[in-house]
Structure 1
């Protein structure tokens, strides 16, 4: 693909997407802030079927209404049954980073009781048209990419996406570790100190995160606005999270959160390890297992029964093999589907 043509030129003019149409859906309309519960209701019901070990927190849905790069009045559509029950939700979000590519993330769900009627096909058609419109409005010469995720059990969703030109580009695995199993004690290399995460290190941690993930598949730099939603949100547990410092610089990290609403669905109290990374200048020194081990011990000492994480099965750092050596076992898988422009 030429790097001298703009996305506007590559895609051409795109009309405003027309609201989806389906005989079983009485009303389609754009979302507003008053729809947070309706949106979350559809997403949570879908989560319980598609990946029953966790559900999307309501706070995650509400947070998207605070982000300046998202306009739900144009980016999110809702479908309602004749009795007013929300049955479908779909969004097309532009990633705020513009350093590597112009990326659109499609997110959404059809309530499990309303599936296999063609509603998902109509919904994805609207999402894809909105994504094309968003790309076509950019004069950037960077590559354009539209992506979505589907659980291993969602073959129907994959077939719908493939008919629109998407293809499975990557598999991801959810892994779990029993915290009753002992955690090896590891000595830090000379000059490296382990400390819990603290709020005053938020921007330093963001810098380390962006450096560590520069060569990871699909990763784009995290922006301060969304990063603060994560580290300043209700789920991150600083005392369970670990930073490896060389002087004052963060050179490795393991950030963990706790959402007690997921304990019943997983069947055990647990911490979720959101991010593990080592800055590129410090790889190969054993820092990743060091910070993970400290977080596992802290979670066990806090009385939690398990640790959970997600990993790219083809990570260039060999992360999935590392996690297996640390006692994690795969429990679920999902896949990323991509279409590039």
Structure 2
């Protein structure tokens, strides 16, 4: 006897009713014309929840270009009687079906109207829509609903927990002062370190997906979203490092710069988006080698700090490596999950 597929496990899920709240009389689904409205809510929330970085408007705009995202179906916005956007919630079904079917909940309530029950209504809609999306996928794979809450935002975590999500992992934000010189970390003789170049975009995608296959919560990046990232305005090829074994990319350290975040952090800085080593080349010192080169490049560019995020329980021991390279933990974020 085979295990039931997701529609049988979850059951019939009707289309969820839009949230209702006396302070937010208008709720509707998002369109491309709402990019600025969505961004304004996320930006206001960012400044309170994690004041060292903010969501770029470009990220919101790019999400309307991705084939697996349908905001008119999966993103709701709430407005006050004056027409001010104060809440936004999205439900994104990940396009990968390799190991599980995953839906991620994203969004925020404007800090000026929090603790009034608006978040309760928003998360209820998101959760029901997430179940509906999972139930539409006829697959025997596990189903996952996933959300994140900043370490300081216990209220958001509590809202997700009331819907059955549980904290499964903590992530740390770590910073390094670039005025302290980075140690030389030479690569093995058969490995060449080079800056990232656009012609290697898909080779780096392949390496990224190999490197992260055994990382908690990771799913393969898809071509469309990957190209939005590497061809976007923030990636800094000169600060990013690839390790090559012949022509094959076997390790990577990709860094970006968003100057809008410099005032929030109080220092010019590079954010290290991805660090990975393909599994066949682990244990050879490639991670510290690519990181060290990127740190030196960022320092040479006149930047004051480097910032990254790391799984505190990473099986690769990444957090201990970053500490040895001079990074210090400054904030935490929790990942909450419900499995079906």
Bin the TM-score by the shorter chain.
over 0.9
Deviation at 1:186, TM superposition (A): 2.0
Structure 2 counterpart of 1:184: 183
- Residue 162 in 1 paired to residue 122 in 2? no
Residues 3, 142 of structure 1: 8 Å contact kept = no
- Residue 39 in 1 paired to residue 38 in 2? yes
**Which whole-Å CA distance do the structure 2 matches of 1:277 and 1:307 have between them?**
17
Deviation at 1:70, TM superposition (A): 0.6
Deviation at 1:5, TM superposition (A): 1.1
**Which whole-Å CA distance do the structure 2 matches of 1:223 and 1:298 have between them?**
28
**Which whole-Å CA distance do the structure 2 matches of 1:193 and 1:3 have between them?**
49
Please give the TM-score of this superposition, normalised by the length of structure 2: 0.99
Deviation at 1:9, TM superposition (A): 0.5
**Which whole-Å CA distance do the structure 2 matches of 1:142 and 1:260 have between them?**
41
Q: CA, structure 1 residues 45+3, in 2 after alignment: closer, same or farther (shift >3 Å)?
A: farther
RMSD (Å), alpha carbons: 0.8
**Which whole-Å CA distance do the structure 2 matches of 1:165 and 1:151 have between them?**
18
Provide the secondary structure at the position in 1 that maps to 2:238: coil
Provide the secondary structure at the position in 2 that maps to 1:126: helix
Provide the secondary structure at the position in 2 that maps to 1:239: helix
**Which whole-Å CA distance do the structure 1 matches of 2:185 and 2:155 have between them?**
45
The correspondence of residues 115-264 of structure 1 with structure 2, limited to 5 A, is 115-264=114-263
**Which whole-Å CA distance do the structure 2 matches of 1:33 and 1:198 have between them?**
31
Runs of 4+ off more than 4 Å: none
Deviation at 1:3, TM superposition (A): 6.3
Provide the secondary structure at the position in 1 that maps to 2:141: coil
Structure 2 counterpart of 1:23: 22
Residues 37, 58 of structure 1: 8 Å contact kept = yes
Number of corresponding residues: 340
Deviation at 1:337, TM superposition (A): 0.5
Provide the secondary structure at the position in 1 that maps to 2:260: helix
Residues 257, 273 of structure 1: 8 Å contact kept = yes
Structure 2 counterpart of 1:91: 90
Structure 2 counterpart of 1:65: 64
Deviation at 1:263, TM superposition (A): 0.3
Q: Unaligned 5+ residue runs, structure 1?
A: none
- Residue 56 in 1 paired to residue 43 in 2? no
Deviation at 1:187, TM superposition (A): 1.9
Structure 2 counterpart of 1:10: 9
The correspondence of residues 279-298 of structure 1 with structure 2, limited to 5 A, is 279-298=278-297
**Which whole-Å CA distance do the structure 2 matches of 1:117 and 1:167 have between them?**
23
**Which whole-Å CA distance do the structure 1 matches of 2:40 and 2:63 have between them?**
15
**Which whole-Å CA distance do the structure 2 matches of 1:3 and 1:288 have between them?**
42
**Which whole-Å CA distance do the structure 2 matches of 1:134 and 1:123 have between them?**
16
Structure 1 counterpart of 2:305: 306
Residues 173, 332 of structure 1: 8 Å contact kept = yes
Residue by residue, what CA displacement relative to the aligned partner does 1:147-172 show, whole Å, maximum 9, x if unpaired? 00000111111111111111001000
Structure 2 counterpart of 1:108: 107
Please give the TM-score of this superposition, normalised by the length of structure 1: 0.99
Residues 102, 135 of structure 1: 8 Å contact kept = yes
